[in-house]
A = this chain, B = another copy of it.
Amino acid sequence: MRTHDVRFPTSQTLDGSDAMNPDPDYSAAYLRLRTDAGDGIEGHGFVFTIGRGNDVQVAALRALEGHLLGREVEETLADLGGVWRELVHDSQLRWLGPEKGVMHMAIGAVVNALWDLRAKRAGVPLWRLLASLSPEEIVDLVDFRYLTDALTRDQALDILRAARPGRAEREARLLAEGYPAYTTTPGWLGYDDAKLARLCREAVDQGFTQIKLKVGGDLDDDVRRLTIAREVVGPDIRVAVDANQRWDVPEAIEWITALRPFDLAWVEEPTSPDDVLGHAAIARAVAPVPVATGEHGANRVLFKQFLQADALSVLQLDATRVAGVNENIAILLLAARFGVPVCPHAGGVGLCEAVQHLAMFDYLAVSGTLENRVVEFVDHLHEHFVTPVDVRGGRYHPPKAPGAGTEMLERSIREHSHGG
């Protein structure tokens, strides 16, 4: 196991600036797993952070080393559900969350690296590996602890079995047409009006049918920027807004109400990502504007409650926030159970590369539909990855290379390693 503290100086250009994050330095607490199989194959995973504290996240990765060293490779990769339980329920490490924050995200990076290793050894991209598993194999990956009041193992099996018919057709369609994307590239708060207008125009020209603007800094600015965006993209392009947790509940309701004339595709992260009841109150007050959240959703228990409380109508899971692929499968199943579309969060460093696999797996094997589904796309830092995303015509085209998409170029790791 090797770890790296990789940081990119994105704050210099205000890429990624929003109402809560004025100067992010997109970073990755990065992990490489090697085996003695002699095939040279490594499993790579990471936690995305925005700069300071990336070293703390690396320390958390290191704390998991004892769970990995000396294991049998085949056996470990054949039981990733068991490995997940062992890591997440380590009773001493669990105290540091439980199941949230630095320690939980570190487990996610390890789990994702193990999936990367398994997919590479199988010679297939992760989305295809996951979709090839039987319903029984898939539910074995999921820990239903704390979920059974909303989703049992049997209910999950029913969902997966119901999604089997038509899968070959869906896969053919996915390969031919790709998975719908939307772009956040135009909408960062740090960009001036001219840049905003130019990037909106480019987004439409590139084939995107949805864009997203950051809001929440200043209401007058938001109205002006949304006016510009709507003028440029016209009435048929969907325009979402993202407040990045900027508001309290009463303020969110007022602000969103003021932005309602712009026909919003959704309002994202209106308040604290922990506030299930707050989101539910906002959703009721601003209906029919859909409320979206999830990129900071700490674990499956939180998502369960958001769904139970009708507190979101767009679920935005993230590849590196929860404990990896397994927990995201639990979240996909919960969303399917409640009939809520999953529109994953991406951007940052490598999040697009990673999360596309989950969206494609969802289409093939869980929800079975593309309706109201889009994966976020931000055109930053893809050049640092061995298999960068292939986004053309406003759609993610399925990766064909083996693995989970999480492998960064050796040179990028070296050149951007922090503190030496």
Nearest Cβ on chain B to A243's Cβ, whole angstroms: 13
Q: Is the CB of A277 within 8 A of B305?
A: yes
Q: Is A302's CB under 8 angstroms from B274's CB?
A: yes
**Residue A406 at the B interface, CB < 8 A?**
no
- Residues 287-318 (chain A) with a chain B CB within 8 angstroms: 296, 298-299, 301-302, 304-305, 308-309
CB closest residue in chain B, given A271: B146
B52/A250 in contact, CB under 8 A: no
Interface of A is mostly: loop
Interface residues of A in 317-372 (CB under 8 A from B): none
The residues in A between 71 and 100 inclusive whose CB is less than 8 angstroms from any CB of B are: 90-100
Contacts of A298 in B (CB 8 A): 100-101, 274, 298
Given A271-B146, A274-B298, A299-B274, are A52 and B63 neighbors across the interface (CB < 8 Å)? yes
Identical subunits present: 2
State A133–B48 Cα separation when bound (angstroms): 42
Separation of A281 and B276 alpha carbons in the complex (Å)? 15
The distance in angstroms between the C-alpha atoms of A202 and B410, with both chains bound, is: 64
* Chain B CB within 8 A of A147 CB: yes
The distance from the CB of A105 to the nearest CB of chain B, in whole angstroms, is 8
A249→B151 CA distance, assembly (Å): 12
**Contact: A23 with B305, CB < 8 Å?**
no
The residues of B that contact A219 with a CB separation of less than 8 Å are none
In the complex, whether A56 has a CB less than 8 A from a CB of chain B is yes
A143 to chain B, nearest CB (A): 11
- Which residues of B lie under 8 Å from residue A97 when comparing CB positions? 100-101
Inter-subunit contact B305/A56 (CB<8 Å): no
Q: How far is the CA of A299 from the CA of B100 in the complex (A)?
A: 12
Structural contact, B248 and A149, CB atoms closer than 8 A: yes
- Tell me which of B25, B60, B91, B296 contacts A56 (CB under 8 A): B60
Find chain B residues with CB under 8 A from A146 CB.
Answer: 248-249, 271-272, 275, 278
In the assembled complex, the CB of A12 is this many whole angstroms from the nearest CB of chain B, namely 14
| A50 partner residues in chain B, CB cutoff 8 A | 91-92, 95
Please tell me if A125 contacts chain B, counting CB pairs below 8 Å: no
**Are A149 and B63 within 8 A (Cβ)?**
no
Set of chain B residues within 8 Å of A277, measured between Cβ atoms: 276, 305, 308-309
- A252: nearest chain-B partner, CB-CB: B149
Q: Is A22 in the interface zone, CB < 8 Å from B?
A: yes
What are 22 A-B residue pairs whose CB atoms fall within 8 Å in the complex? A52-B92, A53-B63, A53-B96, A56-B56, A59-B59, A96-B102, A96-B105, A97-B101, A98-B273, A100-B100, A101-B101, A101-B103, A101-B298, A102-B102, A146-B248, A146-B271, A272-B301, A274-B302, A274-B305, A275-B304, A276-B305, A278-B305
> Which 5 pairs from chain A and chain B are nearest by CB?
A101-B101, A102-B102, A59-B59, A149-B249, A52-B92
Residue ranges of A at the interface with B (Cβ–Cβ < 8 Å):
20-25, 49-53, 55-57, 59-60, 63, 66, 90-105, 144-149, 245, 248-251, 271-278, 281, 296, 298-299, 301-302, 304-305, 308-309
